[in-house]
Amino acid sequence: MKLDHECVRSILLTIEEKHQYGKVLRLEEILQSDRLLEFNEDEIKYVLIKLADAKYISGTPTYGSNQLVDFDCSGLTWNGHQFLDTIRDPKVWKRTKEIASKLTSVSITMLSSIGSQVLAKLLGI
C-alpha cells in the first residue's frame, strides 16, 4: 500500500486538534474526523501504523485476524510536532507537494526537509 502524504498531514492535524493531554484518542474518534472524509478506513489505519512506526505519533495498536481493530493514540511525539509545524501552513504544504511531485517517491523525512526549505524561503531566511 502506498503512503499517502495528504493523509499523513491530515491525520497529524486531526490528532493535534482532537487529542487531550492525559487521555487517549481512540481509532473510532480519528475515523470520524471531517478532515479525513476523503480517505478510506484502510488508508487511515495504514498511515496511523506507519506514523507510529516512524515515531511521529505515540499509540498502541490492537490487532485481530491480522488487521488493525483499534488504535489508542496518546498524541504527537516531538518529531510529529516538528514535522507538522513545518508543513502546517497551506502555502508551505502546497509548494512542498509541488516540489516533491517531481520525484517518483519522497520519504516523510525528505518532505520535512523540502518543507523547511520552502518555509525558510517564505520567511526570507
**d(C-alpha 103, C-alpha 17), whole Å:** 31
What are the pLDDT digits (tens) for 88-112? 999 999 999 999 989 888 888 899 9
Task: Outline which parts of the chain fall under CATH 1.10.10.10.
Answer: 5-77
What are the pLDDT digits (tens) for 77-89? 999 999 999 999 9
Full-model pTM: 0.91
Query: Which residues, at least 6 apart from 22, have a Cβ–Cβ distance to it below 8 Å?
Result: none
Q: Which CATH number fits domain 5-77: 3.90.25.10, 3.40.50.10470, 1.10.10.10, 3.40.50.720?
A: 1.10.10.10
**d(C-alpha 82, C-alpha 11), whole Å:** 15
